Structure 1
C-alpha cells in the first residue's frame, strides 16, 4: 500500500498535475450522465422508451462521429482554444434538448439537438492523457502510473455519474440530472482549458503546409478494433446483468452487480499503476484482451446473485489493465502532433461499440434469456483477443515530420 501511494504521489506532485487530473474528473462526469439522463427525461415526458432510446442513440452516434475530428482540431489549435468552443456548443445544445422535451417540440428537433449535444461533448479524457504525456515525456514508468490513475478516474466517473443523474432525476425532476451534467461539464472543461502551463503545445505549422506526421495505422487500427470489441462487451454485459437480476427476482441488485464489476476494475487499475512492468504495452494488450475473453466465458453458467457478483468482481480485474496498456501503446506509437486524435480514435471505438452490444444483447435476452445473452459478451471478447494478436510485435513510433520554426 505504501509503494502504491508513493507511485501515485510522485506523479501528482508534478506542477499542475493534481489540478488538471482533478478537473478532468469533474469535466468527465457528463460522459456517464447524459445518455442515461436523456433516456429518463424523454421517457418521463413521452412514455416511450423507443423515442428515449432513439434520442440517446442520436447523442451517442454524433459523439462518436465528432470525437476524432475534435481531437485533430485540438492537436492543431490547442486545448485552450478548442475546449471552450466545444463546451459552449455542448451546453447550449443540452439546454435546448431539455427545453425541447419539456415543451413537446417536434421529435425531429429533439433528435437534432441531441446530436448537436453529442457532437459538442469535449474529449476531456483524451486531453487529460495528452497533458500527462506532455508532462511526463521521457518517463515511461511514471506515465504508466498516470494512465492507471486516469483509468481509476474513468471507473469513478462511471460509478458516480449514473447514481448522481438517477438520484437527481427521481428525487427532484428529470431535468435536474441533465442540469447537473451541464454544469459539471461546463465548469470543469472551462477550468481545464484555462490551465495553460500543462497544456501540450499545438502543432499548426505542419498541418498548414500539408506535411502532418503520419498516423501509425498498423498499430492504431488493431487497437481501434480491440476498443470497439471491448465496448460491445461492456454494452452487452451491462444490459444482460440488469436482465439477469430481474430474472432472479432481485431487480435492485443490478446496480450492486455492476458496481462490483467496476470495483474490480478500479482495484486492478490502482495495482497496475504501482507496478513497474517489464513487458511492453503491446504484450499487455494481447494478454489483457485474452483475459477479458476468458472472464466472460463462465457468466452464462452462473445461476445466483452472489455467485454472479463474485464472478463479475473477478472479471473486472481484466478491464483497467487492458485499457491502460491500450492507451500506453497509443502514446508510445502516435506522434505528439496527432496524440489527442489517436487517443480519441481509441476512446471512440469503445463508445461506438457500446450501443451495438446493448442492442444485440437485448435481442438475445428477449429470445433466449439473460444467461444466453452473456455469450454476446464472450463473442465480443473473442473478437478483441483476435484483434489484439494482430498488433505488431515491436510497435515503432511514427517519425514526426520536422515543422521548422
Structure 2
C-alpha cells in the first residue's frame, strides 16, 4: 500500500491556473463523460418529488420517498468508494449504473401505476444506493494524475471540481423541472436514468486515467477510511454543510411562497449557489500562504457567520444578498476539506474517503430539509433558517476543538534539510 502523500512545504506559494490544469494529459477524456454522469446527481431527488407528487398527490409522500433515496445514497456510497479503491472504478461503476437505471425504471412504473407507498420506498432504496459516486472518482483520478506535482496543482483541481459540483446543483434541478413540466412528470427521472447510464459507462471506459487498484493483501484486513479520526471529523463538518444546503432549499421556497412570490425562490437559491461558484473559481486561482487546516477553520467560521444573518432578513431582496454572502464560504470549505482528507488516508482508501465526505453532505441535506420543514410548518418560514446556523455551528465547534486531528499521522516533528535550514515536512498541505 502506498504511503500518504508527503511533500516539502514550498518556500514560495505556487499559483496554478485552470488552463494549465486542464492541459494535463488525458484530463479531458474523463472530465467530459464525468460531467454527463454527475449531472443526474442533482436531478434524482427533485425528479422523484415531481413524479410522486403528480401520481400520489402528496408532497409528504414525495419528500419521504426522496429522503429514503438520499439516505441510501449517503450510507452505501462510501462502501462503493471502498470497493472502487480495491477492485477498480470500472468494476464498480458498470454494475452500479445498470442497477440504478433498472431501479429508477421500476420506480417510474410503480408510481405511474399508483402502487402502494411502501413499494416506492422499496425501489427508491436501490435507486439511491447505486447513484454513481462520480465526484469522488474524478477527485481520485486527479490525485493519481498529479501525484508528482506540488500540492498547489491538487488544490486547483479540487477547486475546479467544487465549481463543477456547484454548477451541476444549479443546472440539474432546473433541467429536471423543465423536462418534467414540459414533457411529462416522469420524463425528468427518465432523463436522469439515461444520463447516469450513458455518462457512467463512458466514464468507466476511460481506464487509462483510472487510479491503480489496491487489492486486499492476503491475511490483512484493509482499514476503512473512516478509521481515521480526521476523516470522521471532516465528515461531521461536511454533515453540517449539508444541513445548510437542505435547510436553504426548503426555507427559501417557504419564504418566497409566504411573500406571494413563489417563482422567485429559484432565483434566490441560484444566487446562493452562484456565490459559492464564484468563490470556488477565485479560490483555485490564489497561491495560498496559509495551511489548509487554517483555511478550513477560517472558511467554516465565515460560513457560520453568513448563516447567522439569514433568519433576520426582512424581504427576498435582502435574503438574496445574505444568501450570496453565505454562499461565498461554501466552496472554499468544500475544497479545503477535500484537500485535507486526501492527506489523511493512504492511496488505497482515497476514493472511499472522498465518498464519505460527499455522502455526509447528502445525509446533512436530508436532515436539514426535514428539520427545517418541521420548524416552518410549526412556527413559520423564518425558523427554517435557524437550521443552517445550528448545523454549521456544531460543525465549527467540532473543527475548532479537534483541529489537531486534521494533521496526517507522522506529519509532526519530521524535518528535512533545504537550503541549509530545517523546514517542516508536511503531509500534503494539512499542517497549520
* SS in structure 2 at match of 1:104: coil
TM-superposed deviation, 1:108: 2.2
State how far apart, in whole Å, the 1-side matches of 2:327 and 2:116 are: 42
TM-superposed deviation, 1:103: 1.8
TM-superposed deviation, 1:126: 0.5
> Which residue number in structure 2 is paired with residue 403 of structure 1?
none
Paired residues for 1:141-290 under 5 Å: 141-206=152-217, 208-212=218-222, 215=225, 217-290=228-301
Write out per-residue CA displacement over residues 306-353 of structure 1, whole angstroms, 9 at most, x where no aligned residue: 211111112111000000000000111111100011111111111111
Question: Please, which of 104, 107, 110 is the counterpart of residue 117 of structure 2?
Answer: 107
TM-superposed deviation, 1:163: 0.5
State how far apart, in whole Å, the 1-side matches of 2:409 and 2:287 are: 21
Is residue 213–residue 337 contact of structure 1 (8 Å, CA) maintained in 2?
A: no
TM-superposed deviation, 1:254: 0.5
> Which residue number in structure 1 is paired with residue 367 of structure 2?
356
TM-superposed deviation, 1:278: 1.9
* SS in structure 2 at match of 1:209: coil
Tell me which protein shows more helix as a share of its residues: 1
TM-superposed deviation, 1:159: 0.5
* SS in structure 1 at match of 2:356: helix
Question: Please, which of 360, 366, 383 is the counterpart of residue 377 of structure 2?
Answer: 366
TM-superposed deviation, 1:368: 2.1
State how far apart, in whole Å, the 1-side matches of 2:211 and 2:29 are: 15
TM-superposed deviation, 1:51: 1.9
TM-superposed deviation, 1:209: 3.1
State how far apart, in whole Å, the 1-side matches of 2:365 and 2:328 are: 19
State how far apart, in whole Å, the 1-side matches of 2:27 and 2:72 are: 31
Instruction: Please say which of residues 321-330 and 342-351 is displaced more in the overlay.
Output: 342-351
The answer to whether structure 1 residue 49 and structure 2 residue 59 are counterparts is: yes
Paired residues for 1:252-401 under 5 Å: 252-389=263-400, 390-392=402-404, 395-396=407-408
TM-superposed deviation, 1:391: 2.3
TM-superposed deviation, 1:298: 1.3
Write out per-residue CA displacement over residues 254-304 of structure 1, whole angstroms, 9 at most, x where no aligned residue: 000000001100000000111121222221111111111000111111112
Aligned positions, number: 395
State how far apart, in whole Å, the 1-side matches of 2:144 and 2:327 are: 30
The gaps in structure 2 that reach 5 residues or longer are 1-14, 412-432
Is residue 214–residue 398 contact of structure 1 (8 Å, CA) maintained in 2?
A: no
State how far apart, in whole Å, the 2-side matches of 1:229 and 1:398 are: 28
State how far apart, in whole Å, the 1-side matches of 2:75 and 2:224 are: 21
State how far apart, in whole Å, the 2-side matches of 1:114 and 1:398 are: 43
State how far apart, in whole Å, the 2-side matches of 1:27 and 1:246 are: 33
State how far apart, in whole Å, the 2-side matches of 1:366 and 1:108 are: 25
State how far apart, in whole Å, the 2-side matches of 1:148 and 1:233 are: 20
The answer to whether structure 1 residue 92 and structure 2 residue 102 are counterparts is: yes
> Which residue number in structure 2 is paired with residue 402 of structure 1?
none
Q: TM-score, normalised by structure 1?
A: 0.94
Write out per-residue CA displacement over residues 328-387 of structure 1, whole angstroms, 9 at most, x where no aligned residue: 001111111000111111111111111111111112212222223212211112111112
TM-superposed deviation, 1:86: 0.7
TM-superposed deviation, 1:22: 2.4
Structural RMSD (CA): 1.8
> Which residue number in structure 2 is paired with residue 10 of structure 1?
20
The 1:211/1:51 distance shift into structure 2, 3 A limit, reads closer
The 1:274/1:210 distance shift into structure 2, 3 A limit, reads same
The answer to whether structure 1 residue 71 and structure 2 residue 107 are counterparts is: no
State how far apart, in whole Å, the 1-side matches of 2:259 and 2:91 are: 51
> Which residue number in structure 1 is paired with residue 42 of structure 2?
32
TM-superposed deviation, 1:211: 4.5
